[in-house]
Amino acid sequence: MPHTVTATIDLAALRHNLQQAKRLAPNSRIMAVIKADAYGHGIVAAAKALASADGLAVARLEEALTLRKQGINQRLLLLGSFLDSNSLALCADNNIDVAVHNSAGVDTLLASRSHKQLAVWLKHDSGMHRLGMNALELRSAHQRLSSCSHIGDMGLMTHFSAADDLDPHTTQQQTQSFLQATEGLTGFSCLANSAAIIQHPQTHLDWVRPGIMLYGANPLPPTITKLNNLELQPVMTLRAKIIAIRPIATGESAGYNERWTATRPTQLATLAIGYADGYPRHARNGTPVLINGQRAVLAGRVSMDLITVDISDCHEVNIGDEAILWGQGLPAEEIASYADTISYQLFTSVSKRVPRIYINTESIV
C-alpha cells in the first residue's frame, strides 16, 4: 500500500549518536533515554539498536514491561512514576530499577515484600522543583532503605532545569546542591542529560542520561557543539508526497482564514500531511520544506491532512515528488523554531497513522 506520509528511522544514525555520547563522557556509563516510544521513533527498534548502551530509561511501567517481553535484557530504569505494591512487585520480577522521589515512595518500598531485590535510584530535588527529595529527606530515605533486605543497588540522581542555557550558573548551583546532599552516601550518581553531556563535563559522574541527542537533535546552539566536534545525525526523516500543484495569482490566498496571500504570481504545491500526522499546526508562513534538495516555504495555515507550500523558486517539482518536513538536510530544531516549540514535541507528536520505516536494521535482526 502506498503511503502519502512516512517517517524513515535510520538506526545507523541512532547508533552513531550513542557513540558521540560515549565519546563526550568516556568515564561514565550510558543510560539511554527511550521514554515516550523512544521520542516517537519506536521503542523496541530503538532499544535493540542501542544494545551497546549500559542501560535504558523509560517513563512508564508499560514501556519497561514491553521491552522485557521483547527480549530486551539490558538494565532498565523506570523514571518518575507512581508505583503501588503491585507495580513494585512487577518491577522486581522483571528486574526493572525504580526511581524514588518522595517519602511516600520510600514507605511503599519498605512495606513491599518482594522475594527479589529491587534496585533503587533516589532522586534529589536540586532546583527543578518538579520531583525529588530535599537533602534531609534524601538522607533519611537512604538510611532507611540501606537496611532493607529486599533493596539492592542504590543510585543517586537529579535533573537539571537549565543545562541548555549558555549561562552555566543554574547548572553549577544544582550540581553543588546535589553534591552537598549526597556527600558521604554510598551508591552510584547520575546527573547529566544531553545538554549537560555536551557542555558541562564536570557533571559526568558514574552515569549520564542522553536523550534528545540520541535522536540527532541538538539541544544547544551550533556554536557550542562545534567547539567539541559534536556531529549528530538525524534519526527521523519525515516525508510527504506532493499531491497537487496549482498557479496562484497575485492577491489570491490559500488555506483557512486567508492567513497567506500571494504577493507575486506563485506556484503552490499541496502536500499530504497535516496536524493529524503530527506536523505542527502553529508552524508559521515561511517554515522551510525541502523538495528535491531545494527549499520551499509553508504558505497558509496547516490543516488536518494537508499543507500548501510556495515552490515558485524551485525547479522541476512534480506531483508525486516527496518533500522532507524535517530530518536529513532539514534539522528538526529549525522547524521547531518556526512553530514556537521544541524538537522533542515534533518527534513525539508524529501520529500512529504515519508508518515508521526502519533502515540500517542489521543490529536488530
Task: Supply the residues annotated as catalytic.
Answer: 35, 256
Smallest CA-to-CA distance from 21 within 179, 162, 232 is with 232
Cβ neighbours for 207, distance < 8 A, ≥ 6 positions apart? 28, 29, 30, 31, 54, 55, 155, 157, 188, 189, 190
Neighbouring-strand partners of residue 97: 77
For the chain, how big is the Rg over CA atoms in Å? 23
Give per-residue pLDDT as tens, 64-110: 999 999 999 999 999 988 889 899 999 999 999 999 999 999 999 99
Give per-residue pLDDT as tens, 280-310: 999 999 999 999 999 999 999 999 999 999 9
State CA 298 to chain mean position distance: 25
Please state, in angstroms and rounded to a whole number, the distance separating the CA atoms of residues 293 and 39.
Answer: 26
Please state, in angstroms and rounded to a whole number, the distance separating the CA atoms of residues 285 and 93.
Answer: 52
CATH 2.40.37.10-classified regions of the chain: 236-359
Pairing of strands 266-271, 236-248: antiparallel
Is the predicted pLDDT of residue 364 greater than 90, yes or no?
no
Pairing of strands 236-248, 322-326: antiparallel
pTM recorded for the entire structure: 0.95
CATH 3.20.20.10-classified regions of the chain: 12-218
Give whole-number Cα distances, 234 to 24, 44, 280, in Å: 18, 18, 18
Contact 215, 17 (CB under 8 A): yes
Question: What is the end-to-end Cα distance of the chain in Å, rounded?
Answer: 24
**Spelled out in words, what is the top-level CATH class assigned to the domain 12-218?**
alpha beta
Smallest CA-to-CA distance from 29 within 98, 65, 77 is with 77
Average pLDDT of span 159-173: 95
Average pLDDT of span 233-257: 97
Contact 247, 337 (CB under 8 A): no
- Protein fold of 236-359: Lyase, Ornithine Decarboxylase; Chain A, domain 1 (2.40.37)
Across the chain, the runs of DSSP E, i.e. the strands, are 5-10, 29-33, 55-58, 75-78, 96-100, 118-123, 151-157, 188-190, 207-208, 236-248, 253-254, 260-261, 266-271, 288-291, 294-298, 307-310, 322-326, 356-359
Contact 101, 123 (CB under 8 A): yes
Q: What is the largest CA-CA distance in the chain?
A: 77
Task: With cut-offs at 50, 70 and 90, classify the pLDDT of residue 116.
Answer: confident
Contact 266, 254 (CB under 8 A): no
At residue 1, the pLDDT reads 62
Give per-residue pLDDT as tens, 210-226: 999 999 999 997 766 55
Helix (H, G, I), strand (E, B) or coil at 11: helix
